[in-house]
Structure 1
Amino acid sequence: MFQGQQVIVMGASHGIGEATAAAFAAAGAAVTITGRSKERLEAAADRIGSPVATAEVDATDPAAVAAFFEAVERIDHLVVTVGPGSGHGALAPFAALAEESLRAVFDGKFFAQFRVVQAAVPKLTRNASVTLVTALSSRSAMPGTAGLAAVNGALDAMVPPLAVELAPVRVNAVSPGVVDTAWWAGMPDADRAAFFEKAAAQLPVGRVGRPEDVAHSILYLAGNGNVTGTVLPCDGGANLATGA
């Protein structure tokens, strides 16, 4: 389906971005992965196995983003997974949420993704797709996540009008739930394992997500020419009313 198509995955040195790049490469696409660390990008490229190009780009740096896209000839599919690392600065009870911490997460995720898409627009082919990666926090009511909900909700809200404005380019987002990635690396191993076990027990699918799950959702949105303006949950049924 993606044979010979030009795909750029922004933020692909690990986790969801890496899994997405691997899936596109396996489907025959010509893939470029970006990230802030040359060493981590090269390690990701080695793990992917299929040939991928790498480019060191800090999505929080407007000049770096502009320079990268100026050198790009065309884009058939753009995937934007960039974020502020852990994002835990916005994970706090509302009364204790520091404005500067929330601004840093907005800069690292919302404005970074906004900046990437805006810079990419002139290079998108007529039938291109753009897929953002947001998060479950925008669709839930978990105490302590008001800041994360605001950041991801802003991205989710941008998808439908952007899909209309950029048409026939298709614009969608995938909204993951709890996924076993480096986002949780700041937790001690035992605490993380206990958290994942508790989260899995509360989900209809009985497990937390894996990066490959989100990658499959991204490829679906990129490959289905009749889907646009959609925020696709990939959360194991986290918001389903189970009757439990």
Structure 2
Amino acid sequence: MPTTLVIGGSSGIGLAAAVRLSTLGDIVHVAGRDPRRLADAVGTHPALLPHELDAGDADAVAALVADLVEEYGSLDRLIVTLSGNEGVGALAELDLSTLRAAFEEKFWPTLAAVQVVAPHLAPGGSITLVGAVTARVGMPGTAGPGSLNAAVEGLVQPLAAELAPIRVNAVSPGYVDTPWWDMVPQDDRNVLFGEIAETLPTKHIATADDVAEVIVLLATNPNRTGTVVESDGGAHLTA
């Protein structure tokens, strides 16, 4: 059975991808820094194997990977789904220290995880990253997250060429209804999502499972490498 490591797999898109791959027969290890979310994830999906992990701690990531390699010999899939949407706002008001912190939470841990895991992936294995639509569309006020997600997505083609036959891809979501939005009261969120949906060609706000379906395709399809696939409801057409 394929062995998969999902970093950022305790909730949202990462958890949805982990569950899908587990259903397909993978041995799926999910790593996240929130023990409560990990416990909830495994309580609902007991086939998942949890690891409390701060993805920004390179030594901890290396130790986890070493343990998995000792147990399985190699890994087959790495999926990295880290959040980092800080730094939204007009250029004149952009807090560079906040944006630096966002890079520390998303870009650097993503690159470090790939660097640690890649030597231990089986031939034909895969790496799947998660960026965002802000990387490639001109939305005012998104220079911060746009640069962050462009950095993540910018890893795909050079790494796909360098690491072949390991495959490297990314998915680029738009608006997704995940726990990231829990800071917004539910009634306000419903209104906001309704307004956003009306601007999208699909008239649909994605679920985590919508995006996870694309991640699983990229992680498992042997003919896909070096691609960034949009899963944004057509936001890149209208922004």
Shorter-chain TM range is: over 0.9
Name the aligned partner's letter for residue 224 of structure 1: N
Q: Residue 75 of structure 1 corresponds to which residue in structure 2?
A: 75
Q: Give the Å deviation of 1:241.
A: 5.5
| 2-structure distance, mates of 1:117, 1:25 | 21
Identity %: 42
Which structure 1 residue ranges, 5 or more long, are not aligned? Answer: none
Q: Contact 1:83/1:112 (CA < 8 Å) preserved in 2?
A: no
Q: Residue 218 of structure 1 corresponds to which residue in structure 2?
A: 215
| 2-structure distance, mates of 1:98, 1:141 | 19
| 2-structure distance, mates of 1:48, 1:173 | 25
Q: Residue 119 of structure 2 corresponds to which residue in structure 1?
A: 122
| 2-structure distance, mates of 1:91, 1:191 | 19
Q: Contact 1:35/1:58 (CA < 8 Å) preserved in 2?
A: yes
RMSD (Å) for aligned C-alpha atoms? 1.4
- Of residues 92, 97, 102, the one that matches 2:89 is 92
Secondary structure in 1 matching 2:223: coil
Are positions 1:53 and 2:55 aligned together?
A: no
Are positions 1:199 and 2:196 aligned together?
A: yes
| 2-structure distance, mates of 1:82, 1:182 | 13
Secondary structure in 2 matching 1:205: coil
Q: Contact 1:135/1:177 (CA < 8 Å) preserved in 2?
A: yes
Q: Give the Å deviation of 1:225.
A: 0.7
Name the aligned partner's letter for residue 113 of structure 2: V
Q: Contact 2:200/2:238 (CA < 8 Å) preserved in 1?
A: no
| 1-structure distance, mates of 2:184, 2:92 | 23
Are positions 1:18 and 2:12 aligned together?
A: no
Q: Residue 31 of structure 1 corresponds to which residue in structure 2?
A: 28
Are positions 1:170 and 2:167 aligned together?
A: yes
| 2-structure distance, mates of 1:182, 1:200 | 18
Deviations along 1:197-244, one digit per CA (max 9) or x if unpaired, are 0111111111100000111001111121111000000011112269xx
Q: Contact 1:5/1:76 (CA < 8 Å) preserved in 2?
A: yes
TM-score, normalisation: structure 1: 0.93
Are positions 1:237 and 2:237 aligned together?
A: no
Are positions 1:208 and 2:205 aligned together?
A: yes
CA gap of 1:127–1:199, structure 2 versus 1, over 3 A, is same
Which structure 2 residue ranges, 5 or more long, are not aligned? Answer: none
Deviations along 1:13-50, one digit per CA (max 9) or x if unpaired, are 1100110011001101111000012232121012224x
Q: Give the Å deviation of 1:191.
A: 2.5
| 2-structure distance, mates of 1:104, 1:41 | 24
| 1-structure distance, mates of 2:140, 2:238 | 18
